[in-house]
Amino acid sequence: MIWREFYQQLLWHFPQVAQQSFKPIYRDLIFPNNEAWFAAWCEGCTGYPLVDAAMRQLNHSGYMHNRLRMVMASFLVKDLLIDWRWGEHYFAERLLDFELASNNGGWQWAASTGCDAQPYFRIFNPVTQSEKFDPDGPFIRRYVPELAALDNKAIHAPWLAKSLPEGFRLGHDYPAPLVDHAVQR
């Protein structure tokens, strides 16, 4: 609740945050904004199971847990190098609990452009977040059913699996990762 109040006060006193970064130093950041990658993120087809499950949940239900919102925002901005405002707008269109100040504040926090932002070098790892918060994969299995047959380790990073179910082809049955998180980091 306090974050909602904080972001409402921020928006009231600094209304420009609705269009630009709170921190002036970050207002001229250049984002490559690969439109195909943005579309894949929106559709839940990035090749990162937790990211894809969260985006598919949002598209299906209009809901996403706060932990997932942080991971999705970090992935879009810091892995895919897409302007945080694109993600903010997408969430505004899809979230049933959308509220401008909280949405904006959360996106600026994740993008490291807001007044209370996480350090620019803090980047959520979608695989370790998945292993920690969905260790046996039920969330992924629910929203990414094409991965349901993978074991509890492979479901978090199919491209690293020593073996995959017979007939399952990465890049055909499920997309290969758009980017290498380690390289992007």
Specify the pLDDT at position 117: 63
Indicate the DSSP class of residue 133: H
Residue whose pair of structure tokens reads 């809901």 in the numeric block:
63
Residue boundaries of the structural domains of the chain: 33-185
More confident residue, 2 or 19: 19
DSSP string across 53-68: HHHHHHHHHS---HHH
Residue whose pair of structure tokens reads 């209304």 in the numeric block:
15
Name which CATH class applies to 33-185.
mainly alpha
pTM of the model: 0.94
From CA 81, how far away is CA 163, in angstroms rounded?
31
96-122 pLDDT, tens digit per residue, is 999 999 999 989 999 999 887 667 778
Specify the pLDDT at position 121: 75
Residues of the chain by 3-state class (helix, strand, coil), percent to 5: 55, 0, 40
Q: What is the mean pLDDT of residues 152-166?
A: 95
Residues 105 and 21 sit within 8 Å (Cβ to Cβ): no
